[in-house]
C-alpha cells in the first residue's frame, strides 16, 4: 500500500513533457480514428439555426468576420457552416470585417463555400466589403450609411457598380446579422451599436471563452442564439446536415477534455496523499 | 501652454459633450454630427493610429537592436518581418495574370499551357473551345513577378496566340489569391499564429494538473464547475450517463459523512444505502442516459452557463459600464488629463 502511495505522490510531480506528449496523442489520434460521438445541439445553437431558417430566398444577411488564424479552429467551422446554410437558402450575403485578418478568413470561407460548393456569383449572390479600421465607429457608420464607410469593396469595385448593393444603404436594410467574433471589436459592439438600435435580428458565433461575456445578451433576447466555440460549430453542422471540420474536431476535443479532467483528478489524489503524509509526520 | 493644455481639454470637452448629447437631443445637426461626421473622424484617426503604431513598433525594436539589449535578435527579426510585410503590401504587387484572347494554332498554345502551368487535358480542351468563341481565358495562378508573366505571354504569342499580362489593381492585390502578401499571410502568418494559440492546450493541461487543487471550499466549487463545463460542452459529456454521476455523488456524500462523523459504520451504511437506492431507482426508470436530468452533464453545464455565469457576467458588465461612465465624465469635464501627459 505504501509503495502504491509513493507512486501516487511521485506521479503528482509528473514531468510536464509527459503531459505534453499525452495531450498531443489524444488530440491527434481521434483525428485519424474518429469515434463518431453523437452531437446534441444545445438550445442556443438551435436558436441560430431557427433564425436563419426564417429567412427567405433573396433576403439579405450581413456577416461580420472578426477573427484571425489563432482562433480559426474555433470560429472558421461555424462561419463555413453558416455560409452553407445561408447559400442553401439563397440568401444574399454581405461580408464586412472589423479585424484585418478577418478579410483573409472571409476570402477562404467564400472560396470554399460560395465558389466551389454553391457556384455563387460575386456581386450578385455575395459581396466581400472588406476591412475598415475604427471598431465601433465602423459599426456606427454602417448603421448610418454604408457608403460613407465603404466606397469600394475588397476588390476595388465601386459599391454603386455592384448589383446586389442596389437599395442597400444601412444596417436597417438587412434582414439578419451574424457576427463571427473572437474578441474586440466583435459581438458586443455589434449588439450595442447595430442590432439593438436598428432591431435587426442578430446571432453570433464566438470562441468558447467568450460565451460567458456574451451570454447575458443572449438571455435578454438581444442576440438570437449563440454558437459557442468548436462544439457550437459541430452542433450547427449537425443541424444543417453537413458534417465539417467542427464535427471531426469534436472527438479530439472530447478526448482531450476527458484526459485533462483525468489529470486534474489524479493531481488532486496525489495532493491529498501528500498532504496527509505531511500532517502525519 | 494654451496649445498644450487648455486647447486639447477644450476640444475633448466640446466633442465629448456633443457626442453625449447627440443621444438625448433630437436636433438634426447634432445627430448628423454624432452619427456621420464624428464616426468618420474616428475612422480617419484610427487609420493614422495604425501608422503611428507601426512607427512606434519600428522605433522600439530599432532602439533594442542599436543598444544590443537582451533579446535584440528577436527585435531584428521583428524589423525584418515588418520590412517584408511592408514590401509585400506596398511595393511588390506579386500578382500578375496572363490573359489569352485568341490564337491561330490551338495545338501549339496547348503545348505552352501544358508545359508552363501544367494545365490538364480537360481544362486545355475547355480553353481551346472557349477562346475562339470570344471568351478570354485568364490563367488562374498569378505570377509573383512581372517578368514571369511576361515570359508566358511571350511564349503564347510566339506560338501564334494573343496574350496579355494583367497586373492586379493596387489594393486589391492584398486579397488576391496568389499575391505575395496573400501568400505571406496564408503560409507564414497563419501557421505561426495558429501554432502559438495551439500551444495553449498543452499549457492548460499542464497547469491544471499542477494548480487545480481542492485547497478550500471556493477552489472545490471552481473545480467541480470547471469539470462539469469541460465535459458537458463536448459530445463525450452527453454519453456519460446521469446514473454514473449519481453514483459519484453518492460516494462524495459518503466521504462527507466519513469526514463529519469519523465513524466507519456510518460511512459504510451511507455508501451501501446510497448505491442501493440509486440502483433500485435505475432499474425502475430503465437507466435512461439523460435522466434524472439534474445529474446529466450537458444539462448541468447549461444551467451553470445560464445562471451563476450570467449573474457574474452581468455584475462585471454593470461594474465596467459604471467605470466607463465615470472615466468619460472625468475626461469631458477635464479632470482626467493623462492624454495630454499630465
Task: List, as one string, the DSSP characters of A87-137.
Answer: HHTT-EEEEEESSTTHHHHHHHHHIIIIIIIS-PPBTTTEEEEEE-S-THH
Whether residue A279 is predicted with pLDDT greater than 80 in this model: the reply is no
Identify the architecture of domain A43-245 in CATH.
3-Layer(aba) Sandwich (3.40)
Gap between the Cα atoms of A123 and A105, Å rounded: 19
Q: Who has greater pLDDT, B83 or A278?
A: B83
How many residues in total does chain A contain?
281
Task: Please report, rounded to a whole number, the percentage of residues in chain A having pLDDT higher than 90.
Answer: 63
Q: Which residue of B has its CA nearest to A24?
A: B202
DSSP annotation of B309 reads: I
Gap from B230 CA to chain A (nearest CA, Å): 6
When CB atoms are compared, the residue of B42, B185, B191 closest to A134 is B42
When CB atoms are compared, the residue of B36, B47, B239 closest to A148 is B36
Residue A231 parent element (H or E): helix A229-240
Give the best residue of A38, A44, A45, A69 to mutate against chain B (max B CB count within 10 A). A69
pLDDT for B271 equals 92
C-beta atoms of A250 and B314 within 8 A: no
pLDDT for A44 equals 92
Residues of chain B where predicted confidence (pLDDT) is lower than 70: 116-117
So where are chain A's domains? 2-23+250-280, 43-245
Gap between the Cα atoms of A22 and A16, Å rounded: 10
CA A90 to chain centre: 22
Q: What ipTM was predicted for this assembly?
A: 0.84
C-beta atoms of A107 and B177 within 8 A: yes
| pLDDT band for position A281 (cuts 50, 70, 90) | low
Q: Domains of chain B, with CATH numbers? A: 2-90 (no CATH), 94-175 (3.30.1390.10)
A278 by Cβ neighbours in 10 Å (0-12 / 13-18 / 19+) ranks as: exposed
Q: What is the pLDDT of residues A72-119, one digit of tens each?
A: 989 999 999 999 999 999 999 999 999 999 999 999 999 999 999 999
| pLDDT band for position A16 (cuts 50, 70, 90) | confident
Gap between the Cα atoms of B271 and A93, Å rounded: 59
Nearest to A185 by CA among A244, A142, A240: A142
Q: Who has greater pLDDT, B91 or A180?
A: A180
- Please name the residues between 147 and 206 in chain B that touch chain A, using a CB distance below 8 Å: 169, 171-172, 174-175, 177, 182, 185-186, 189-191, 193-194, 196-198, 201-202, 204-206
| pLDDT band for position A64 (cuts 50, 70, 90) | very high
Are A98 and A64 in contact, with CB atoms under 8 Å apart? yes
| pLDDT band for position A276 (cuts 50, 70, 90) | confident
What's the rounded mean pLDDT across residues A178-201?
94
What's the rounded mean pLDDT across residues A225-250?
92
Q: What is the pLDDT of residues B159-194, one digit of tens each?
A: 777 888 888 887 778 877 778 888 888 899 999 998
A224-258 as b/e: b if 16+ CB within 10 A: bbbbbbbbbbbbbbbbbeeebbbbbbbbbbbbbbb
Beta strand pairing call for A92-97 and A126-131: parallel
Gap between the Cα atoms of A205 and B107, Å rounded: 52
pLDDT for A175 equals 96
Gap from A252 CA to chain B (nearest CA, Å): 10
Gap from B89 CA to chain A (nearest CA, Å): 13
Gap from A56 CA to chain B (nearest CA, Å): 30
Q: What does pLDDT average to over chain A?
A: 91
Taking the CB of residue A156, how many other CB atoms lie within 10 A of it? Answer: 14
C-beta atoms of A253 and B234 within 8 A: yes
Gap from A269 CA to chain B (nearest CA, Å): 9
Computed on alpha carbons and rounded to an integer, the radius of gyration of chain B in Å comes to 34
pLDDT for A98 equals 94
C-beta atoms of B309 and A107 within 8 A: no
Amino acid at each position: 500500500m505504501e509503495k502504491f502511495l509513493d507512486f501516487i505522490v511521485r506521479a503528482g510531480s509528473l514531468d510536464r513533457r509527459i503531459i505534453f506528449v499525452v495531450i498531443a496523442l489524444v488530440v491527434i489520434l481521434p483525428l485519424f480514428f474518429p469515434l463518431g460521438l453523437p452531437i446534441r445541439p444545445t438550445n442556443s445553437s438551435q436558436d441560430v439555426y431557427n433564425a436563419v431558417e426564417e429567412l427567405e430566398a433573396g433576403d439579405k444577411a450581413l456577416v461580420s468576420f472578426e477573427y484571425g488564424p489563432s482562433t480559426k479552429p474555433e470560429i472558421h467551422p461555424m462561419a463555413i457552416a453558416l455560409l452553407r446554410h445561408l447559400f442553401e437558402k439563397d440568401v444574399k450575403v454581405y461580408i464586412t470585417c472589423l479585424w484585418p485578418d478577418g478579410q483573409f478568413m472571409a476570402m477562404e470561407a467564400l472560396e470554399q463555400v460560395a465558389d466551389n460548393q454553391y457556384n455563387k456569383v460575386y456581386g450578385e449572390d455575395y459581396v466581400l466589403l472588406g476591412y475598415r479600421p475604427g471598431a465601433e465607429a465602423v459599426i456606427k457608420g454602417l448603421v448610418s450609411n454604408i457608403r460613407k464607410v465603404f466606397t469600394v469593396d475588397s476588390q476595388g469595385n465601386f459599391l454603386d457598380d455592384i448589383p446586389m448593393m442596389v437599395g442597400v444603404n444601412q444596417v436597417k436594410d438587412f434582414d439578419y446579422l451574424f457576427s463571427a467574433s473572437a474578441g474586440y471589436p466583435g459581438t458586443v459592439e455589434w449588439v450595442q451599436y447595430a442590432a439593438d438600435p436598428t432591431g435587426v435580428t442578430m446571432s453570433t458565433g464566438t470562441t468558447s471563452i467568450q460565451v460567458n461575456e456574451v451570454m447575458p445578451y443572449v438571455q435578454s433576447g438581444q442576440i438570437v442564439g449563440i454558437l459557442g466555440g468548436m462544439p457550437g460549430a459541430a452542433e450547427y453542422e449537425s443541424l444543417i446536415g453537413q458534417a465539417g471540420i467542427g464535427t471531426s474536431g469534436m472527438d479530439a476535443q472530447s478526448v482531450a477534455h476527458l484526459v485533462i479532467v483525468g489529470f486534474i483528478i489524479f493531481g488532486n489524489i496525489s495532493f491529498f496523499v501528500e498532504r496527509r503524509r505531511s500532517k502525519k509526520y | 501652454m494654451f496649445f498644450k493644455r487648455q486647447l486639447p481639454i477644450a476640444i475633448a470637452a466640446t466633442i465629448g459633450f456633443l457626442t453625449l448629447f447627440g443621444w438625448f437631443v433630437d436636433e438634426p445637426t447634432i445627430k448628423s454630427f454624432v452619427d456621420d461626421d464624428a464616426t468618420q473622424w474616428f475612422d480617419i484617426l484610427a487609420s493614422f493610429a495604425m501608422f503611428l503604431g507601426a512607427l512606434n513598433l519600428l522605433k522600439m525594436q530599432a532602439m533594442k537592436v542599436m543598444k544590443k539589449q537582451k533579446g535584440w535578435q528577436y527585435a531584428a527579426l521583428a524589423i525584418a518581418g515588418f520590412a517584408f510585410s511592408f514590401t509585400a503590401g506596398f511595393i511588390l504587387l506579386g500578382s500578375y495574370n496572363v490573359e489569352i484572347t485568341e490564337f491561330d494554332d490551338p495545338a501549339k498554345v496547348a503545348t505552352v499551357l501544358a508545359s508552363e502551368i501544367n494545365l490538364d487535358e480537360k481544362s486545355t480542351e475547355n480553353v481551346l473551345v472557349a477562346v475562339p468563341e470570344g471568351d478570354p481565358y485568364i490563367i488562374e495562378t498569378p505570377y509573383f513577378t512581372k517578368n514571369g508573366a511576361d515570359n508566358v505571354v511571350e511564349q503564347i504569342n510566339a506560338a501564334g496566340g494573343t496574350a496579355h499580362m494583367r497586373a492586379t489593381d493596387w489594393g486589391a492585390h492584398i486579397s488576391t489569391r496568389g499575391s505575395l502578401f496573400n501568400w505571406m499571410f496564408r503560409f507564414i502568418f497563419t501557421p505561426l499564429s495558429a501554432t502559438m494559440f495551439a500551444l495553449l492546450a498543452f499549457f492548460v493541461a499542464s497547469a491544471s494538473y499542477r494548480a487545480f487543487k481542492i485547497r478550500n471550499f471556493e477552489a472545490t466549487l471552481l473545480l467541480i464547475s470547471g469539470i462539469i463545463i469541460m465535459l458537458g460542452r463536448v459530445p463525450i459529456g452527453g454519453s456519460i450517463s446521469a446514473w454514473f454521476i449519481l453514483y459519484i455523488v453518492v460516494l462524495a456524500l459518503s466521504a462527507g459523512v466519513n469526514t463529519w462523523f469519523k465513524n466507519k459504520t456510518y460511512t459504510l451504511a451511507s455508501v451501501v444505502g446510497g448505491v442501493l437506492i440509486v440502483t433500485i431507482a435505475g432499474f425502475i426508470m430503465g437507466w435512461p442516459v439523460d435522466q434524472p436530468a439534474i445529474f446529466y452533464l450537458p444539462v448541468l453545464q447549461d444551467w451553470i452557463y445560464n445562471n451563476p455565469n450570467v449573474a457574474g457576467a452581468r455584475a462585471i458588465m454593470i461594474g465596467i459600464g459604471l467605470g466607463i461612465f465615470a472615466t468619460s465624465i472625468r475626461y469631458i469635464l477635464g479632470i482626467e488629463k493623462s492624454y495630454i501627459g499630465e
